[in-house]
Amino acid sequence: RVGVFAWKETATLLGENIAASLSPFEPADVLDELETTSVAGFARAEVWLADAWMLAAGARVSRDETEARERSAGLPPIAAERAETTGTFDATAAWEWRAGSRTGFRFAVGSRPGGFDTGVPEVAGAPAQLRDHGDERALHYEWFAENALWNERVTFDLRLFWTDYERYLLCLDSGFGHRCSNGGGALARGVEMGVRVRPAAGALVQLTATRLDAELDDHRAVDRSQPRFIPGTTVQNPLFGVQIDLDGRPLLRAPRWQVGALARWELDASWIGAPWLGALTPSVDVLYQSRTAHRVFDPDRLQRPTLLVGSSLRWSSASRRWHVIAFVQNWLDHDKIALVHATSSQ
């Protein structure tokens, strides 16, 4: 399989500053408009060895360009751009012991650049958010199992995963603007369990539960909000703050628990005697996420839980070659999305 896709999005946000808007990790406090253009290409191949063994490999490269335009009362407009190219490669080996039931391993590696590509060269005294940083890399390991029962009407899923981030990019408020570094790493590991039920032709009900443990690994940073003296002394701290060992601190906005549900039903027009009309597939999905940390230096200060409800309606032609989808991603929790953007600094 080979494919290319592109999309363009324009968003008007409230409560962020322009440098934070260009950061993938740290929204902060003023705002502007964001225009994002994304183009990606992917390729994937599968090879079956005998009847039970399958090997697969895939790759994807994407290019994302974001332009931020800030307009504040009494100040001239500000504009900045950020562009990045990311790439991933994955390989899978699986053994299928009967129809719909299989187990296997998956490995993936990906990288993304750091920094803020504003076109402004780094000079002495330049704001930290205009400086460039090294790339971020991730290695992902996964074991999965699927067990289909009762003529594949019920399928149980189990997945164990471990993701190791090298040079994880972390952006903190230094008191003089956002300062980013990626000298340390991060770990994300967990387990996902699920069940899929097909009660009738074209109908699907799916339930999933995920337990995630995501934390910083071998990271140190300076907390600028702390006194500028070495604790217990009158000696001034040359780093203008207190060195904090962030090893084991939770990753920002990474829910420890996540529960999801999905229901959809494909309604073929043949039941009304008009198969040439194709089919309509309504669906509803619900996602609950537990409270998450949003301040590195205060990991006990948590955001409230998230409840997202989405829906979609898809039309498929009779040949299944053409599809049109209309969807709403978030019916209920607009205030939570705004709260995350408005309060997530440090």
Instruction: Give me the residues paired with residue 44 across strands.
Output: 58
Answer whether residue 186 shows pLDDT above 90.
Answer: no
Predicted pLDDT at 243:
65
CB 198 within 8 A of CB 153: yes
Answer whether residue 36 shows pLDDT above 50.
Answer: yes
Predicted pLDDT at 306:
87
Which is nearest to 193 in space by CA: 149, 253, 259? 259
Query: Distance between CA 256 and CA 261 in Å, rounded?
Result: 17
- More confidently predicted of 258 and 306: 258
Answer whether residue 112 shows pLDDT above 70.
Answer: yes
Most confident among 80-94, 139-153, 229-243 (mean pLDDT) = 139-153
Q: What is the mean pLDDT of residues 159-180?
A: 71
- More confidently predicted of 18 and 278: 278
Encode the chain in three state secondary structure.
Answer: CEEEEEEEEEEECCCCCHHHHCCCCCCCCCCEEEEEEEEEEEEEEEEEECCCEEEEEEEEEEEEEEEEEECCCCCCCEEEEEEEEEEEEEEEEEEEEECCEEEEEEEEEEEECCCCCCCCCCCCCCCHHHCCCCCEEEEEEEEEEEEEECCCCEEEEEEEEEEEEECCCEEEECCCCEEEECCCEEEEEEEEEEEEECCCCCEEEEEEEEEEEEEEECCEEEECCCCCECCCCCCECCCCCEEEECCCCECCCCCCEEEEEEEEECEEHHHHCCHHHCEEEEEEEEEEECCCECCCCCCCCECCCEEEEEEEEEEECCCCCCEEEEEECCCCCHHHHHHHHHHCCC
- More confidently predicted of 82 and 9: 9
CB 58 within 8 A of CB 25: no
Which is nearest to 121 in space by CA: 110, 134, 132? 132
Answer whether residue 24 shows pLDDT above 50.
Answer: no
Q: What is the mean pLDDT of residues 176-188?
A: 67
Q: What is the pLDDT of residues 280-289, one digit of tens each?
A: 999 999 999 9
Mean pLDDT across the chain? 77
Q: What is the mean pLDDT of residues 111-116?
A: 64
Predicted pLDDT at 80:
63
Q: What is the pLDDT of residues 218-264, one digit of tens each?
A: 776 666 555 555 556 666 655 555 567 788 888 888 899 999 999 99
Q: What is the mean pLDDT of residues 41-70?
A: 88
